[in-house]
Amino acid sequence: MMHRLAKVFEELAAQDRKAFVTFITAGDPDTATSLEILKGLPGAGADVIELGMPFSDPMADGPAIQRASLRALHAGQDMHKTLAMVRAFRETNKTTPIVLMGYYNPIYVYPVDRFLADAVEAGVDGLIVVDAPPEADDELCIPALNAGLNFIRLTTPTTDDHRLGAVLANTSGFVYYVSITGVTGTRAPDLEAVARNVARIKARTTLPVAVGFGVRTPEQAKAIASVADGVVVGSALVDTIAQSLDDKGRATELTVSSVLTLVEKLSAGLKAA
With 0.75 as the threshold, say if the pTM is over it.
Answer: yes
pLDDT recorded at residue 213: 79
pLDDT recorded at residue 61: 79
pLDDT recorded at residue 58: 82
**Residues annotated as part of the active site:** 50, 61
Cα 52–chain centre separation:
7
Cα 267–chain centre separation:
15
pLDDT recorded at residue 23: 96
Least Cα distance to 129 among 204, 52, 18 occurs for 52
What secondary structure letter does DSSP report for 22? E
With beta carbons less than 8 A apart as the criterion, state whether 213 and 185 touch: yes
pLDDT recorded at residue 259: 98
Dist. CA 53–CA 106, nearest whole Å = 8
pLDDT recorded at residue 215: 84
Give me the numbers of helices (H) and strands (E) for the chain, helices first please: 12, 9
Q: Residues 191-236: pLDDT tens digits?
A: 888 899 999 999 999 999 999 877 888 888 888 999 999 999 999 9
pLDDT recorded at residue 187: 61
Pairing relationship of beta strands 154-155 and 98-102 according to DSSP bridges: unpaired
Dist. CA 59–CA 130, nearest whole Å = 8
Residues of the chain with pLDDT under 50: none
Q: Residues 68-77: pLDDT tens digits?
A: 999 999 999 9
pLDDT recorded at residue 4: 96
